[in-house]
Structure 1
Amino acid sequence: MRIELKRRLGLALGALIAMTLPAVAGICEKRAFDGQGYVVCTLSAAQEPGLKLWLNGADGRVLGDFTAVRRSLAPGEVLAFAMNAGMYHADYSPVGLYVSEGEKAHDLVTGASKDNFGMLPNGVFCAGGARPYQVIESRAFGKAQPQCRIATQSGPMLVIDGALHPRFLVDSDSRYVRNGVGVSPDGQTAWFAISDRAVTFHEFGRLFRDGLGARDALYFDGSISRLYAPALGRADFGRRLGPIIGYTEQE
């Protein structure tokens, strides 16, 4: 009952925001694939400079939610969409690599572990480098050391060079609301997606590979997954977040 009330309040808040802010049309849309519903937010190469990664505010404290992110924006800057952007510790610090506007706040982690982050191969989403957008396997990233304006590490990889992660099972009973990012083969397009309801890793990976045409895709998280998309009247809340990724434009 409490979860449903929070969901309805979030939708109401999103609708209010949509009425009070200019909606950036055409970025986020509802899509259906293989019997499941998703929201997919698409960015082109030209929009890459507006993609940002947030963790702490000017006071050094964790922002933690979309409202705090909006309050941190410069005058005239509008948040078109945002979502959680990778796994974090109890103090909200990133588990893996975190780079924002070229400044690194946490190092790359390449070791295996029993959690989703360490279900190798895991990977890094990088924007503003040699290509507008890249998803790179973590150990390959460590060897290449590519330049990134923003970068966030998470795991597991959903799609690796056109193949689903080898540990994903068609008949898995592990289902969560999940979110992640995929990149087109030429690196000119990035897709940020979140499921409407609980899905398996296999189902989510197929959305990126077969539904969107991503050659590489990265899992951000599950169960805590949240989306801010005012054009759709949506502003999820209910959990404090660590790294948050989103796209801004001038009003």
Structure 2
Amino acid sequence: MPSFTLSLPLWVIALFSLSISACQPISTDAADNKTQNWSCQTQDVPFSYSLCSINAEALTDERYSLKLFWQQPDSTQSLLTFDTLLATLPSNQALNFAMNAGMYNENYAPIGYTIIDGEEIKSLNLKEGGGNFHLLPNGVLWWDKLGNVRITESNTLNKQLNSSKAQPWYATQSGPMLVINNEIHPQFNPDSTSLKIRNGAGVCDDGHIKFVNSDEPVTFYQFASLFKDDLSCPNALFLDGGIASALYAPSIDKHDKKEMGVMIGLVENKD
């Protein structure tokens, strides 16, 4: 067969190249773009889950604040829902995403250590007992006034508080810990059949704080493995599960209508 060369005008080649470039996907994964302040996305592997991630450096920017919310302004009435929280935010602030932030009693009051705006709402709970909160070790998600976020096992934090090495401005205690210094909680069973919707938070190697809500029922071991192996979070904390798991993330069309106690959210100042 004879060979031949097909010549195309330069404008045709340029147009074809432009069309190819326009079809390339644009990544929104915070792990792929460390300069991104925050992002929310959904994933299907190893199970279906929603992930909201904050670049820790963003919390040094006055535009962004990671906050805990519980009661309505100038009131002892609990917020209860994301809708009420949204209605009470100042007009110059936007709620980028939010999640339930720990376990609560029948009055929607927190059962673990809670600090909001430097005020201690509930003291550190080191008691033994039943339920997930007391599946020891449990832990505390906390950060100081400079926005340095940590997840610390409760007894360790107690020592740090007593020696003034930790000065939380916000704190929420829950349990169990999911990952402790790169190790999955020792009481989690890989063969467990207890499947529930679960949500939690991790402080991760890539400099992000990651909040996860499973979109399908999973075991504690599966959930902890996600933080350890897939998200590379040396320390992660279970926040709650079942009917208490709630997520507000309008960028991925998530807006749960459940009632809850303390909430955690990323606020952006629009001024």
For the superposition of Structure 1 and Structure 2, which TM-score range results when normalised by the shorter chain? Answer: 0.7 to 0.9
Q: Distance in 2 between matches of 1:246 and 1:55?
A: 11
- 1:154 paired with 2:174, answer yes
Q: Distance in 2 between matches of 1:130 and 1:137?
A: 21
- 1:50 paired with 2:65, answer yes
Native 8 Å contact 1:38 1:195 kept in 2 = yes
- Report the CA distance between 1:100 and its aligned residue: 1.0
Of 101, 120, 133, which aligns to 1:85? 101
Q: Distance in 1 between matches of 2:153 and 2:38?
A: 30
Of 200, 209, 216, which aligns to 2:235? 216
Letter in 2 for 1:52: K
- Could you say which residue in structure 2 is the equivalent of 1:230? 250
- Could you say which residue in structure 2 is the equivalent of 1:108? 124
- Could you say which residue in structure 2 is the equivalent of 1:3? none
Of 30, 44, 47, which aligns to 2:42? 30
- Report the CA distance between 1:149 and its aligned residue: 1.8
- Could you say which residue in structure 1 is the equivalent of 2:209? 190
- Could you say which residue in structure 2 is the equivalent of 1:142? 158
- Report the CA distance between 1:250 and its aligned residue: 2.4
Q: Distance in 1 between matches of 2:228 and 2:196?
A: 19
**DSSP 3-state at the match of 1:75:** coil
Of 215, 219, 222, which aligns to 1:203? 222
Of 146, 149, 163, which aligns to 2:183? 163
**Consecutive unaligned residues in structure 1, runs of 5 or more:** 1-23
**Consecutive unaligned residues in structure 2, runs of 5 or more:** 1-35
Native 8 Å contact 1:178 1:222 kept in 2 = yes
Letter in 2 for 1:198: P
Letter in 2 for 1:27: S
- Could you say which residue in structure 1 is the equivalent of 2:199? 179
Report the aligned-residue RMSD: 1.7
Letter in 2 for 1:112: E
Q: Distance in 1 between matches of 2:254 and 2:267?
A: 16
Runs of 4+ aligned structure 1 residues displaced above 3 Å come to none
The answer to which structure, 1 or 2, has the higher relative contact order (CA under 8 A, 6+ apart) is: 1
Identity of counterpart residues, as a percentage?
37
Native 8 Å contact 2:37 2:54 kept in 1 = no
Q: Report how many residues are paired.
A: 225
**DSSP 3-state at the match of 2:48:** strand
Q: Distance in 1 between matches of 2:167 and 2:53?
A: 23
Native 8 Å contact 1:130 1:147 kept in 2 = no
- Could you say which residue in structure 1 is the equivalent of 2:18? none
- Report the CA distance between 1:129 and its aligned residue: 5.8
Deviations 1:122-149 (A, max 9, x none): 0000123687211000000011011112
Letter in 1 for 2:56: A
Q: Distance in 1 between matches of 2:196 and 2:145?
A: 32
